[in-house]
A and B are shown apart, each in its own frame.
Chain A
Amino acid sequence: MPEYYVLMFKSVTGAMQAEKILKKSAIPFKIIPLPKTISTDCGICIRFEAEQLESIKLALASKVEYSDIRKI
């Protein structure tokens, strides 16, 4: 099983903004409903494999505000 992280947002609009930017990169990710055990932020989050962590951070830096990144 690969190790996963989730990128969380206060607003769904933030998740959509991040998705649009990440889609233009080659980074693999998936939009999933946010596991409620993690947080009660907006209902969806972006899940990706641990090895993408740095490229995700770099791609979104100073473009998108996210509330947290957590390992799941």
Chain B
Amino acid sequence: MPVTSNSKQENMKLIYLDNAATSWPKPEDTYKAADSYARDIGGSPGRSGHRISVEAARIVFDARDSLSMLMGAGNPMRIVFCKNATEALNISIFGLLNPGDHAIATGMEHNSVLRPLKALEKRGVELSIAQCSPEGEVDPFIINKMIKKNTRVIYMLHASNVTGTIMPVEEVGKIAAGKGILFCLDAAQTMGALDIDVLKMNISLLAFTGHKSLFGFQGTGGLYIREGVEAMLKPLLLGGTGSNSEKFEQPDFMPDKYESGTLNTHGIAGLGAGVDFILNTGVAAIRKKEIELSGKFMEEAGTVKGLRLFGPVDPLKKTPVVSFLLNGRDPADIALKLDEQFGILSRAGLHCAPSAHMTIGSFPGGTNRFSFGYFNSMDDVKAAIKAVEELSIE
């Protein structure tokens, strides 16, 4: 990697293992697309009608089109851009639930789902949390049993940002469809890394972020809205959309209803290039490499004395996110040593998911987390193993 550390060891090679927080580096085309938009185009997408405004609108549309292909949406008009997955989830929660409604979520959810839901619980929304196993796995049968007359939505993440555990999306989608309720998937950790087919999986709403496994920039994300769902989904933001400008009412059509204010076109240009990189490389090829990396790490780390792995140890059951503790030591202390002594960049603590840590038994101290990505190499994995081995006997 072309970066050196600021610490004492000036020329230390950095090994980036924090891809679940944000992926880095990005594909070359991601950088180029943002630069080319900013330098050579620069117009406001679809606001003005002159050539660079239309060109900016084309860039935004192409990104929408690529995203639609990647998730099998069937129509790019079903995708709305947001600033991140959190905003998309907030639309999906505050935009849908009213006092008296019942919602279901799992114990592995991120705070981006649980905080809005807990806030609404105080305003009269009923909430049921499906408890998960210590591996982070949820039994669809438990979710099924929780459904009652006033249940409107099941919120579930596709894979945990703490343990990588992949959730039973197809089964839960079938349950929701069978009961005629909505199913909202938080794909912040998975879009681009795992296969997603929103129609086949019976997904009503899918929240994604641009800057993780989609290889785009921070400040981008979005929401897939299944046809018809927009009729019952209120937007969070109202304002200028470049359409219906003579009216004081917010447009009721896709995607303008949810896209008030000028979009992050630089970011979306990069995101579109990131998604195209995935479409060209293939989700299967990305998945294969990530399984090899996390599989190798878990296999070797499992033999390190004093190292405790959390979540599934089968790489097929998870994204390449590995949580661990070393001799019960403070994860923050280990993370600092990994950074300063080994140039390994990781994340320690609760990962904005206290409920997940309660589920796996690592609350409130949290865990160390290595999250591998497509641009990591087997050498990075070997260096990570060597580092935890050395720290374990320290």
Given contacts A20-B65, A33-B49, A43-B48, contact A10 B253 (CB under 8 A): yes
A19 CB contacts on chain B under 8 angstroms: 58
Complex Cα spacing A34 to B57, Å: 15
Complex Cα spacing A19 to B244, Å: 20
Q: Which of B57, B58, B62 has the most CB of A within 10 A?
A: B57
B76–A40 touching, CB < 8 Å: no
Given contacts A19-B58, A42-B242, contact A13 B64 (CB under 8 A): yes
Q: Which of A12, A14, A32 has the most CB of B within 10 A?
A: A12
B77–A14 touching, CB < 8 Å: yes
Contact residue among B48, B57, B251 (Cβ-Cβ distance under 8 Å from A16): B57
A16–B58 touching, CB < 8 Å: yes
B46–A42 touching, CB < 8 Å: yes
Q: Which of B54, B58, B65 has the most CB of A within 10 A?
A: B54
Q: Interface residues of B: mostly helix, strand, loop or mixed?
A: loop
Complex Cα spacing A57 to B251, Å: 25
B60 CB contacts on chain A under 8 angstroms: 13, 16
B47 CB contacts on chain A under 8 angstroms: 43
Q: Which of A14, A15, A19, A42 has the most CB of B within 10 A?
A: A42
Given contacts A40-B244, A44-B54, contact A11 B65 (CB under 8 A): no
Complex Cα spacing A33 to B43, Å: 15
A49 CB contacts on chain B under 8 angstroms: none
| Minimal beta-carbon separation of B42 from chain A (angstroms) | 17
Given contacts A40-B245, A44-B54, contact A12 B76 (CB under 8 A): no
Whether a CB of chain B sits under 8 angstroms from the CB of A31 is yes
Whether a CB of chain A sits under 8 angstroms from the CB of B255 is yes
Given contacts A43-B46, A43-B47, A44-B46, contact A12 B58 (CB under 8 A): no
Given contacts A12-B243, A20-B65, A42-B242, contact A31 B255 (CB under 8 A): no
Whether a CB of chain A sits under 8 angstroms from the CB of B40 is no
B251–A11 touching, CB < 8 Å: yes
A11 CB contacts on chain B under 8 angstroms: 77, 241, 243, 251, 253-256
Interface string of B38-61 (1 = CB under 8 A from A): 000000011111100010011011
Which are the 6 A-B pairs with shortest beta-carbon distances? A12-B46, A33-B49, A16-B61, A42-B243, A40-B246, A44-B49
- Interchain Cβ contacts under 8 Å between A and B, 24 examples: A10-B251, A11-B241, A11-B253, A11-B255, A12-B45, A12-B46, A12-B57, A13-B46, A13-B61, A13-B76, A16-B46, A17-B65, A17-B76, A19-B58, A33-B48, A33-B49, A34-B49, A40-B246, A42-B242, A42-B243, A43-B48, A44-B54, A44-B57, A65-B77
Interface residues of B (CB under 8 A from A): 45-50, 54, 57-58, 60-62, 64-65, 76-77, 241-246, 251, 253-256
